Amino acid sequence: MSRKRSLMRSLTAVFVLTGILAGCGGNNNAGSGDATTPPSGSAATTAPAATAAEVQKVNFSIVSARPGDEAFYKEQMDIFMKANPEVKVTVIANPTEQYNNALQLSFAANEGPDIFFIEGGQPQARTVYDNKWVEPLDSYIDDAFVARFPEGAFSRTSQTRVNGEVIGIPVRDPRFDKVRPLYYNKTILEQYGYSEPPKTHSEFVEAATKITKEGKGQVYGFAMMGKAPAVFGLSVSGLGSGLEGGVIGYEGNTIINLKTGQFSSKSATPVVEILRQLNAQKIVAPGWENWDTAQMHQQFAAGRVAMFIGAAWQAEEIRKLNEGMDMGIAAAPVPDAGRNGYRDTPTIAEPRYAMSSQSKSKEAAWKVLDFLGSVEFERANYEYAKELVLMPAAMEGIAMSADMEQIVKVMDETIRMAPAVNTNNQNYDQFSKSISDAMPKPKIQEVFLKAVVSNEDPVPLAEDYDAKANKVIDEQIKIANDGGIEFSRDDLKYPDWNPMENYIIE
């Protein structure tokens, strides 16, 4: 395996170039052309006029995570249909929390959409593949299409592939979803004597404690976004990204040390202990256990919370509440002894838009996917969602906000490419769900949350969980082997990987 060439470096260079172009007077419409102009070089450019009898219907199932998502996709499909009158696209929107269930029901009824979102990362990508819902795209994709994307987007280790087959078209830079920055109110920090955000765990604890104690109930030094394990995990992964090198999955329920191949939740306990002590000493804003992300945004935008650890998309939501807020975005603090690892991402691209195996209009569905994989669409997506897209060319010349510039800087500082659990042996995918289902209950993020809320020492809890989890992994590997699946513990080990560098397979 070769890990010498860094694809991330090329993306970083483009982000720097984007900032330079923005500083030279670029505007949000620069180079975008007429909204009705189809993408050059795509199937959309050569469509002949069609009669009503020839119109092919395509249902497109999307996730509506924001109030404007459905309207955005309908607008984009209108642009597509003007250039492709032989295709009629109907957008079907479902909220995030209902989406995967609605998708499952539609396929179970043999009424699956022609095109759909893969929502839920690699686990959901595996699900749609194993359930035979997805149509592999290898026969549709050609060299010209691949050339639109950064090198490696469809490589054999890219998560756009399952079992070697391309199952979806990517859109977002996966690092945008992975980054866990420290959001801070510059005005509050300066008011309490801090000219810059904390860089180490000790500095973080000291600043949060000082602000809360001197704030006397008017302002709190730190807050978390509620007791849902998924959002609680953001604080753990943000503060924990610099902990023991080689450990992946601090935000989820599969915390694996890929140097040893062992489940290793104990490695996260220094951060859980920090959160436990801050909560026990009433440094954390009261009531956080009952908040959701919207309430966190409101408290922060109103100046009642000085710091929190969150996700990149939250910057835009906070600006909607307080556009003029003096907000800073920085790398989350690292251990006092220095950084030993990074927030991990195992792929340069993740599948987002997929074709249904049940579609009766596959050629028309591909035309829509070809449009969704165009520079023009990614540019429109970037301008609308304010989320970094995968194609650097789609962002060139567009003025990047100060918040986005800070987020890109934090991405570059805190994220490195890492092996995935299945990089050595993709047979893992055939029984990974069995491992997840058999893990001890409550799962580890719930155990950590209980330690913080109930003021319990997290170390013995993690040690006990690790012993049980490693037993589960061994048992499930044996069951898989007995069923003819070749896999061993050694396949979970990457002893030569340097966690301080990007892991790239040529």
Q: Please say whether the beta carbons of 221 and 182 come within 8 A.
A: no
Buried b (16+ CB within 10 A) or exposed e, 287-317: ebeebebeebbbbbbebbbbbbbbbbbbbeb
Buried b (16+ CB within 10 A) or exposed e, 71-97: ebbeebbebbbebbebbbbebbbbeee
pLDDT tens readout for residues 165-181: 999 999 999 899 899 99
Q: What gap in Å lies between CA 411 and CA 315, rounded to an integer?
A: 14
Q: What gap in Å lies between CA 299 and CA 150, rounded to an integer?
A: 39
Closest C-alpha among 287, 291, 274, 193 to residue 448: 274
pLDDT attached to residue 42: 44
Q: Could you tell me the domains of the chain?
A: 31-172+350-373 (3.40.190.10), 178-346+401-496 (3.40.190.10)
Q: What gap in Å lies between CA 187 and CA 326, rounded to an integer?
A: 6
Run of H or E residues at 327: strand 327-330
pLDDT attached to residue 25: 38
Please report, in tens digits, the pLDDT of each residue of the chain (506 residues total).
Answer: 333 333 444 444 444 434 433 333 333 333 333 333 334 344 444 444 445 558 999 999 999 988 899 999 999 999 999 999 999 999 999 998 899 999 999 999 999 999 999 998 777 898 899 899 999 999 999 999 999 999 889 987 788 998 889 999 999 998 998 999 999 999 999 999 999 999 999 999 999 999 999 999 999 999 998 888 888 999 999 999 999 889 998 988 889 999 999 999 999 999 999 999 999 999 999 999 999 889 999 999 999 999 999 999 999 999 999 999 999 999 999 999 999 999 998 888 999 999 999 999 999 999 999 999 999 999 999 999 888 899 989 999 998 899 999 999 999 999 998 998 988 998 998 898 899 899 999 999 999 999 999 999 999 999 999 999 999 999 999 999 999 999 999 999 999 999 999 887 65
Q: What gap in Å lies between CA 446 and CA 424, rounded to an integer?
A: 30
pLDDT attached to residue 67: 85
Q: What gap in Å lies between CA 90 and CA 85, rounded to an integer?
A: 13
The model's pTM: 0.76
Q: What gap in Å lies between CA 313 and CA 179, rounded to an integer?
A: 10
Q: What gap in Å lies between CA 238 and CA 307, rounded to an integer?
A: 13
Q: Which residues pair with 328 in a beta bridge?
A: 184
pLDDT tens readout for residues 110-128: 999 999 999 987 778 988 9
Q: What gap in Å lies between CA 222 and CA 217, rounded to an integer?
A: 12
Run of H or E residues at 330: strand 327-330
Q: How far is CA 383 from the centre of its chain?
A: 19
Instruction: Find the angle CA(433)-CA(414)-CA(253) to the nearest 5 degrees.
Output: 20
pLDDT attached to residue 81: 98
Closest C-alpha among 399, 498, 485, 390 to residue 434: 485
pLDDT attached to residue 65: 84
Q: For the chain, first and last CA: distance in Å?
A: 7
| Secondary structure string (H, E, C) spanning 95-143 | EHHHHHHHHHHHHHCCCCCCEEECCCHHHHHHHHHHCCCECCCCCCCCH
Q: Which residues pair with 185 in a beta bridge?
A: 327
Length of the chain: 506
Instruction: Identify residue 342 by its one-letter amino acid code.
Output: Y
pLDDT attached to residue 55: 95
